Amino acid sequence: MQETIKPPMGTDAPLIEGKQNYETITEKIGGIVLKSPPKIWYPLFALGFAGTMVMVFTICWLLLRGIGIWGVNQPVGWGFDIINFVWWIGIGHAGTLISAILLLLRQQWRTSINRFSEAMTIFAVMCAGMFPLLHTGRPWLDYWLFPLPNWLAMWPQFRSPLLWDVFAVSTYFTVSLLFWYTGLIPDFASLRDRAKGKIAQLICGTLSLGWRGSAKHWMRYESAYLLLAGLSTPLVLSVHSVVSLDFATSIVPGWHVTVFPPYFVAGAIYAGFAMVITLAVPFRMIYPQLKDYITNHHMDMMAKVMLATGLIVFYGYMMEAFYSFYSANQFETYMIENRFWGPYSGTYWALMICNGLIPQLLWFPRFRHNLFWLYGVSMVVNVGMWLERFVIISVSLHREYKPSGWGFYAGTQWDWSMFIGTIFFFVMMMFLFARFMPMIAIFEMRDLWHRLYHGKSGHNGHAPAHVPNSAEVTSKEDA
């Protein structure tokens, strides 16, 4: 614990900046919701909304005509649909990791970004969920994938990894949503108390579920939140492991790889942190008051996590290639040769550059501390992670066992409009979130401030010798 409170290494930035007290924290964060948004919010939201309409139009056309409007074919039965699904699910992972695992590990720097990244998780899973639901030939029958009682007495087929996906993703979404909402309850109560308008009071009052801030409330809240964190923790690992089993359990060369579960989880966290940075940087510009709470310290930490997970992912790439050669299996060998030199070799090498090479810049504090570079690297990683799924899913499928069954794959305009549409949907949801919900957990920030500076005004005070954990703090205060 000692080191987190020391004047931060490298970044020279504390976890909370500016002259703060409990009041200013509530005021600055809650004010975003209670006051009218900055002017730039409107065009940005409108842009997101317009893009969402593109997505809606695509979905309508898809339902009307069939998935033939996409580029999928024989042999490449999965293209943008599953690539985007895996990509979005991966992005979601950072949120849960930050809010659950880092909470359990008592990483204090998580506090100012957890709400934000949890929201990102929820919206990313929403985007992700659309793809498997819509990618089926007959989406109106998707409910057959759920174990619902029915007059046919037909269960889903439990050996199929796609079914495991259904359980994994739906559980993940539910738990993430509950976790998120639980964390929001005290903040809604604060907003309710501070809101001037009737409607805001009513809505925040309803959403705060009668929170009065009593010690009992806090006690229950703390245990509920800890429990949910405990529940979420395995999900961080399980969801993407299960997603990776879609591929690993198959017999497609390039899919049938035992290293996939950990490799996918690392990739997911990698992608997720890249996306958090991708969102945090512009949001700090739009809402300058956030800079006090999402400081360069946070950026530095996230960059380091990215670097670490990125190296794991890169190790995965090397292992894939190594296994293929070491297997002495002609199909596996050909698969990797085809990735290296085949018609889609461009995507493979682009992936290596995006995910393997460029993120190595983050070894250097100079790049970590330069938001321009950091933002650039995070964007590159976002692209790289998409390419990774393209290489794994479509490039493996396009040439497998039988040369007579080989083919090519390219997304159509509808693939792109669906993909870009979900990105805009995501952006729109993030802006709605920013407008109507506190982007940073107010009470947790106050708690953190309390713990960091323990009653001292100003932020440059000495660190307390002992920082009690939140449970201790609450119980002491209650007592």
Binding site for other proteins (CB under 8 A): 65-68, 71-78, 135-139, 141-142, 144-145, 154-157, 159-163, 166, 246, 249-252, 330-331, 337-338, 341-343, 345, 397, 399-408, 410
| Minimum CB–partner distance for residue 47 and other proteins (Å) | 32
Q: How far is it, in rounded angstroms, from Cα 160 to Cα 168?
A: 13
> How many alpha carbons lie under 13 Å from residue 354 in its C-beta half-sphere?
23
- Closest of 219, 145, 149, 169 to residue 470, by C-alpha: 219
Q: What is the DSSP letter of 97?
A: I
Q: Which is nearer to other proteins, 125 or 336 (CB)?
A: 336
| Minimum CB–partner distance for residue 414 and other proteins (Å) | 12
List Cβ neighbours of 298 (8 Å cut-off, separation of 6 or more). Answer: 15, 109, 112, 113, 280
| Minimum CB–partner distance for residue 169 and other proteins (Å) | 13
Q: Which is nearer to other proteins, 373 or 406 (CB)?
A: 406
Q: Which is nearer to other proteins, 238 or 250 (CB)?
A: 250
| Minimum CB–partner distance for residue 159 and other proteins (Å) | 5
Q: Which is nearer to other proteins, 89 or 299 (CB)?
A: 89
Would you give the distance in Å from CA 36 to the centre of its chain?
Answer: 28
Q: Which is nearer to other proteins, 330 or 413 (CB)?
A: 330
Q: Which is nearer to other proteins, 74 or 457 (CB)?
A: 74
Read off φ and ψ for residue 434, nearest 5 degrees.
Answer: -60, -35
| Minimum CB–partner distance for residue 171 and other proteins (Å) | 16
| Minimum CB–partner distance for residue 343 and other proteins (Å) | 6
Q: What is the DSSP letter of 149?
A: -
Q: How far is it, in rounded angstroms, from Cα 326 to Cα 319?
A: 10
Q: Which is nearer to other proteins, 72 or 266 (CB)?
A: 72
> How many alpha carbons lie under 13 Å from residue 451 in its C-beta half-sphere?
25
| Minimum CB–partner distance for residue 70 and other proteins (Å) | 8
Q: Which is nearer to other proteins, 155 or 325 (CB)?
A: 155
Q: Which is nearer to other proteins, 31 or 139 (CB)?
A: 139
Q: Which is nearer to other proteins, 137 or 149 (CB)?
A: 137
Asked if omega into 139 is within 30° of 0 (cis), the reply is no
Structure tokens at 145: 């994938």
Q: How far is it, in rounded angstroms, from Cα 211 to Cα 342?
A: 61
3-state secondary structure of 219: helix
Angle between helices 198-207 and 161-194 (to 10 degrees): 130
| Minimum CB–partner distance for residue 413 and other proteins (Å) | 14
Q: How far is it, in rounded angstroms, from Cα 475 to Cα 310?
A: 40
Q: Which is nearer to other proteins, 32 or 245 (CB)?
A: 245
Q: What is the DSSP letter of 294?
A: S
| Minimum CB–partner distance for residue 388 and other proteins (Å) | 18
Q: What is the DSSP letter of 475?
A: H
| Minimum CB–partner distance for residue 177 and other proteins (Å) | 24
Residue type, 184: L
Helix (H) or strand (E) holding 122: helix 111-135
| Minimum CB–partner distance for residue 324 and other proteins (Å) | 14
Would you give the distance in Å from CA 210 to the centre of its chain?
Answer: 30
Q: What is the DSSP letter of 50?
A: H
Would you give the distance in Å from CA 223 to the centre of its chain?
Answer: 25
Angle between helices 296-326 and 260-286 (to 10 degrees): 150
